[in-house]
Amino acid sequence: MKDDSVNWTKTMTSDSSASGGYELVFAPLLLGLLGFWLDGLMGIRPALTVAFATLAFAGVIIKLYYGYKNAMAAERARRVSAP
């Protein structure tokens, strides 16, 4: 049983799962800044800023959801196939 908890902890604390927080912050920020710049060029502020930041945030949430779902399915399959 000790082995399973060690593997589970390793799975949940890997570098790839820790990057989700950065994605939640930087994707909307960068696309929001792009939208802000484009809004300034077109004179329609804040339409593109809000649209790009919202789309980036939604995309990151969807990516994190499916990444978590796939990681849990892989862990479940590993536990079922373990002796």
**CB distance 56 to 27 below 8 Å:** yes
Q: What is the pLDDT of residue 20?
A: 82
33-64 per-position pLDDT tens digit: 999 999 999 999 999 999 999 999 999 999 99
Describe the crossing of helices 47-81 and 2-12 by its angle, rounded to 10 degrees. 160
